[in-house]
């Protein structure tokens, strides 16, 4: 495809994209403004890393295809494998999904560990070069094509440039500086606050490996908690702005009493804390509609949170980053013409389902501005009925889990057999 591809941002999306590009370009240069240690540590450029990060089944399956050996290495370094249907307590609108043994394998690991394993594997590839401590300041274009980037004040030539700079991306600004109008943006502001704390995990302290409790208008608090990196529990509590989880030790544990099930509150009032609670105020969900831009320079790609960042309560971000990398591989497989246009139009379809699933729940809250489209309203209403069925019917529960894990689309829940089961249970 060309001599050099440059990836701005060396985190989840940047690493996955770099791996794909290494097959097609002589050299792939990954630029990140942070130092990038190989160890699993928190760093400035990824402030969300202290909070629970679930990797959906579709996500780790896709990463494994792109980076073979990823899963085994993650487990070797401490990720906790689990049967998502049997080991995780999942509360939806106050109802506990009926537990049942299944082959739906999940991996529980901290965000730094996931990134560290990925970085170790990706940087083994000989034609991927990483430049840490390097800030991308802008793009360079000639005749409607990108020809490079400006980084740390210097020019670096490139045939393709990927913006993988995360939530705080400046891709639209860089494009504007070159004379390109901003692409339309969809935005939903749910006003969620995360607060997280780690605890020591000891043998037999719980008969589950994780608890997920969805927030909903009648009880707008939730949690994502799991066994993590060997002998730890990472517990994230979430609330909306006027009922945010408190940062004071003790009050944090008390807040967990508001969750629908008693299990997590019981666990963390007994477990030994390892850290103080840490807060993260989630910004809006933002979807950059590059596929609708009137004009884009050829050779521009955006991936991960730089393309779409979700309310993280639904755990979709890393999976969509992986799907973007897989989609880019398909685009390149089909030839070198109009990579930018083909990439963004394919991504629009990939993002659609995840976006509707997460924003349609957010838009149920009076505190979230915006109107739910009719289709989304109907979906939410139906899911409420389906939730009731998942409390007693493991078959419906399994189908629901496949949708949540992005292994199946929401329409799979409308099959006549499923509809019948849902009707029967209500
Ligand atoms: C609190 C919270 C919890 C989350 N939980 C989940 C979850 O459970 N499951 C899930 O799948 N996702 C979750 N997410 C989303 C997930 O963190 C992101 O989707 C994922 O990290 C996206 O990776 P990324 O590579 O696009 O961006 P990031 O991981 O944010 O990385 C961006 C990188 O770009 C670098 N950078 C920025 N600007 C520049 C520049 N100008 N030049 C060079 N480098 C630059 C930064 O240093 C950083 O390394 C959560 C997010 C939050 C906020």
Residue 2, pLDDT above cutoff 80: no
Confirm whether 73 is domain-assigned: no
Q: Which pLDDT belongs to residue 153?
A: 93
Cα(283) to ligand 1 centroid in Å equals 13
Whose structure tokens read 């685009």? 331
Distance from C-alpha of 341 to C-alpha of 347, rounded to nearest angstrom: 10
Q: Which pLDDT belongs to residue 379?
A: 81
Cα(381) to ligand 1 centroid in Å equals 32
Pick the last residue of a domain from 321, 339, 359. Answer: 359
Confirm whether 365 is domain-assigned: no
Contact 307, 324 (CB under 8 A): yes
Q: Whose CA is nearest to atom 3 of ligand 1?
A: 312
Residue 274 sits in a domain whose CATH number is: 3.30.70.2450
Pair (205, 168) in one structural domain: no
Pair (211, 266) in one structural domain: yes
Pair (24, 121) in one structural domain: yes
Residue 282, pLDDT above cutoff 90: no
Buried (b) or exposed (e) across 49-63, using 16+ Cβ within 10 A?
bbbbbbbbbbbbbbb
Nearest to 29 by CA among 154, 166, 171: 154
Give the confidence band of 377 by pLDDT, cuts at 50, 70, 90.
Answer: confident
Pair (274, 302) in one structural domain: no
What is the residue range of 324's domain? 2-53+117-186+285-359
Q: Which pLDDT belongs to residue 373?
A: 77
Q: Which pLDDT belongs to residue 426?
A: 72
Instruction: Dump pLDDT digits (tens) for 333-360.
Output: 999 999 999 999 999 999 998 998 888 8
Strands 285-288 and 185-188: antiparallel
* Integer CA distances (angstroms), 143 to 272, 298, 335, in order: 61, 9, 21
Confirm whether 307 is domain-assigned: yes
Q: Give Cβ neighbours of residue 205 (< 8 Å, ≥ 6 apart).
A: 267, 270, 271
Cα(296) to ligand 1 centroid in Å equals 24
Pair (295, 347) in one structural domain: yes
Q: Whose CA is nearest to atom 12 of ligand 1?
A: 317
Q: To the nearest whole percent, how much of the chain has pLDDT over 70?
A: 100
Confirm whether 61 is domain-assigned: no
Give the confidence band of 190 by pLDDT, cuts at 50, 70, 90.
Answer: confident
Pair (264, 402) in one structural domain: no
Residues with CB under 6 A from ligand 1: 8-14, 31-34, 45-46, 48, 51-54, 135-136, 164-168, 194, 280, 282, 304-306, 312, 315-319, 321
Number of domains in the chain: 3
Average pLDDT taken over every residue of the chain: 94
* Integer CA distances (angstroms), 236 to 93, 170, 272, 303, in order: 18, 29, 16, 26
Strands 221-228 and 210-213: antiparallel
Instruction: Dump pLDDT digits (tens) for 72-128.
Output: 999 999 999 999 999 999 999 999 999 999 999 999 999 999 999 999 999 999 999
Confirm whether 26 is domain-assigned: yes
Confirm whether 87 is domain-assigned: no
Q: Average pLDDT in the 202-231 region?
A: 94
Q: To the nearest whole percent, how much of the chain has pLDDT over 90?
A: 85
Kindly report the backbone phi and psi dihedral angles of residue 65, in degrees, each rounded to the nearest multiple of 5, phi listed first. -65, -40
Q: Which pLDDT belongs to residue 403?
A: 94
Give the confidence band of 228 by pLDDT, cuts at 50, 70, 90.
Answer: very high
Q: Average pLDDT in the 391-400 region?
A: 96
Instruction: Dump pLDDT digits (tens) for 133-148.
Output: 999 999 999 999 999 9
Residue 382, pLDDT above cutoff 90: no
Confirm whether 108 is domain-assigned: no
Residue 322, pLDDT above cutoff 90: yes
Q: Average pLDDT in the 299-314 region?
A: 95
Pick the last residue of a domain from 240, 262, 281. Answer: 281
Q: Give Cβ neighbours of residue 410 (< 8 Å, ≥ 6 apart).
A: 353, 356, 357, 379, 403
Pair (248, 145) in one structural domain: no
Residue 59, pLDDT above cutoff 90: yes
Confirm whether 71 is domain-assigned: no
Distance from C-alpha of 247 to C-alpha of 276, rounded to nearest angstrom: 8
Pair (143, 224) in one structural domain: no
Pick the last residue of a domain from 359, 381, 399. Answer: 359
Instruction: Dump pLDDT digits (tens) for 5-23.
Output: 999 999 999 999 999 999 9
Q: Which pLDDT belongs to residue 260?
A: 96
| Candidate from 45, 61, 302 with most ligand 1 atoms within 8 A of CB, to mutate | 45
**DSSP code at position 23:** T
In terms of pLDDT, which residue wins out, 142 or 363?
Answer: 142
Distance from C-alpha of 300 to C-alpha of 147, rounded to nearest angstrom: 10
Q: Average pLDDT in the 353-373 region?
A: 82
Residue 334 sits in a domain whose CATH number is: 3.50.50.60
């Amino acid at each position: 495809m060309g001599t050099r591809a440059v990836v701005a941002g060396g985190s989840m999306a940047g690493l996955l994209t770099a791996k794909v590009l290494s097959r097609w370009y002589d050299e792939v240069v990954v630029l990140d403004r942070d130092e990038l240690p190989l160890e699993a540590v928190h760093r400035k450029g990824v402030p969300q890393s202290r909070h629970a990060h679930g990797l959906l089944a579709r996500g780790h399956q896709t990463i494994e295809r792109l980076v073979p050996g990823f899963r085994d290495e993650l487990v070797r370094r401490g990720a906790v494998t689990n049967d998502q249907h049997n080991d995780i307590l999942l509360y939806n609108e106050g109802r506990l999904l009926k537990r049942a043994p299944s082959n739906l394998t999940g991996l529980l690991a901290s965000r730094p560990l996931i990134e560290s394993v990925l970085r170790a594997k990706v940087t083994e590839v000989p034609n991927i070069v990483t430049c840490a401590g390097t800030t991308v300041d802008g793009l360079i274009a000639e005749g409607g094509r990108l020809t490079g980037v400006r980084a740390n004040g210097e020019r670096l030539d490139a045939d393709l440039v990927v913006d993988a700079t995360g939530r705080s991306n400046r891709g639209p600004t860089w494009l504007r500086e070159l004379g390109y109008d901003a692409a339309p943006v969809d935005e939903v502001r749910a006003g969620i606050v995360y607060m997280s704390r780690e605890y020591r995990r000891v043998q037999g302290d719980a008969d589950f490996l994780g608890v997920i409790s969805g927030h909903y208008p009648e009880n707008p608090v939730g949690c994502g908690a799991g066994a993590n990196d060997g002998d730890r529990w990472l517990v994230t509590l979430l609330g909306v702005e006027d009922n945010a989880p408190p940062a004071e030790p003790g009050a944090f544990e008390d807040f967990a009493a508001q969750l629908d099930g008693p299990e997590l509150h019981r666990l963390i009032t007994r477990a030994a804390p390892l850290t103080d609670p840490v807060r993260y105020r989630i910004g809006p969900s933002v979807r950059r509609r590059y596929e609708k831009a009137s004009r884009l320079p050829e050779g521009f790609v955006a991936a991960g949170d730089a393309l779409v960042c979700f309310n993280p309560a639904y755990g979709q971000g890393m999976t969509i980053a992986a799907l973007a990398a897989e989609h880019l591989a398909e685009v390149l497989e089909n030839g070198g013409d109009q990579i930018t246009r083909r990439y963004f139009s394919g991504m629009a379809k990939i993002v659609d389902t995840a976006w509707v699933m997460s924003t349609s729940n957010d838009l149920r809250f009076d505190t979230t501005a915006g109107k739910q489209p009719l289709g989304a309203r109907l979906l939410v209403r139906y899911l409420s009925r389906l939730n009731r069925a998942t409390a007693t019917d493991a078959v419906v529960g399994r189908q629901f889990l496949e949708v949540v894990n992005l292994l199946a689309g929401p329409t799979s829940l409308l099959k006549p057999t499923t509809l019948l089961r849902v009707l029967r249970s209500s």
